[in-house]
């Protein structure tokens, strides 16, 4: 992943807070929305949370999976860390 993509995806305070929430475990978009507004004082609309989840997913920070038993899509972190190579201007996921 290009370092510019990483920087852009992480440039939003809302997206950083969502990553922090998902570090606790996987959650559906509705659950992320509810947790966000319970935990943080800067309340967000549901559409905003959904949009930010998709930005993080398209940037490969999140994985989304359909859970058959609950009939919902859940998001989880793709990796717990990233490694930035400032010389090559790339980023890679860590464990």
> Using alpha carbons only, what angle is made at residue 25 by residues 24 and 28, rounded to the nearest 5 degrees?
120
Rounded average pLDDT over 22-29: 96
| pLDDT given at position 95 | 62
User: At residue 3, does pLDDT exceed 90?
Assistant: no
42, 53 contact by CB (below 8 A): no
72, 61 contact by CB (below 8 A): no
User: How many structural domains does the chain have?
Assistant: 1
Percent of the chain residues past pLDDT 90, beyond the cut: 71
- At 93, list the tokens: 């996921």
Q: What is the per-residue pLDDT across 44-83, written as a single tens digit (0 to 9) for each?
A: 999 999 999 999 999 999 999 999 988 999 999 999 888 8
Whole-prediction pTM value? Answer: 0.88
Containing structural domain, residue 73: 3-93
Residue 46 to residue 70: CA distance in whole angstroms: 20
CATH of the domain at 82: 1.10.10.10
């Amino acid at each position: 992943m290009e370092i510019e993509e990483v920087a852009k995806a992480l440039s939003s305070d809302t997206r950083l807070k969502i990553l922090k929430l998902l570090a606790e475990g996987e959650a559906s978009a509705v659950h992320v929305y509810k947790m966000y507004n319970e935990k943080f004082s800067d309340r967000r609309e549901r559409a905003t949370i959904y949009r930010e989840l998709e930005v993080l997913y398209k940037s490969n920070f999140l994985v989304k999976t359909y859970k058959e038993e609950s009939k919902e899509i859940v998001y989880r972190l793709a990796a717990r860390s990233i490694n930035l190579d400032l010389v090559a201007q790339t980023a890679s996921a860590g464990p």
